[in-house]
Amino acid sequence: MNAVKTLLVGASFSAATLLPLSASAAPVTYKVDAAHTTAQFIIGHLGVSRTVGRFNELEGSYQIDADNPAANSVELTIQAASIDTNHTKRDDHLRSPDFLDVNQFPTLTFKSSSYQGNDAKGVITGDLTLHGVTKEVSFEVEKVGEGKDPWGGYRNGFVASTTINRSDFGVSYFIPGVTDATEITLFIEGIRQ
């Protein structure tokens, strides 16, 4: 009887010590590393070329749930006045009421509402607010990599891309000389919190 009791206690102890190994992992929060993150756009010019620009100031965070990728989420805020196309006069015009009207609409934001995919790639959908207008937009997302950094932290990175029509957000100046279709690519690196 003692041998059976000892065996049962030992089995229970072994099961209890294994439970944490099989328990679900909690969602992990990452803070966007602005120094290694870029919000880039590409737009056509006069049907002969394409202009590339970026926003230099942004912040945000995202959560990754390894056990339930559908719960993955992201929030980003971009300072509209930080637009940079490597041409001062053009950038000043893009900040004006003809385009972004940064005095009235100082930020662009994205807040996700759903994710479909896995750890490596998928589609994240949410509300993009630009020029005071909010529309649902979906980004195709692909993971670049992850790992420890030299400073004791842990990072991962993603590329997300979509195409919007700027006129949907009330920015219709000089169409079609400057195309309506605007490609957006986010190169995001985050630090695990």
Burial class (CB in 10 A: 0-12, 13-18, 19+), 63: middle
Return the CATH class of domain 24-192: mainly beta
Beta strands at 38-45 and 49-55: parallel, antiparallel or unpaired: antiparallel
pTM for this predicted structure: 0.86
- Domain ranges (residues) in the chain: 24-192
Per DSSP, the three-state class of 89 is helix
Per-residue pLDDT of the chain (193 residues; tens, 9 = 90+): 444 333 333 433 333 433 444 456 789 999 999 999 999 999 999 999 999 999 999 999 999 999 999 999 999 999 999 999 999 999 999 999 999 999 999 999 999 999 999 989 999 999 999 999 999 999 999 999 999 999 999 999 999 999 999 999 999 999 999 999 999 999 999 999 9
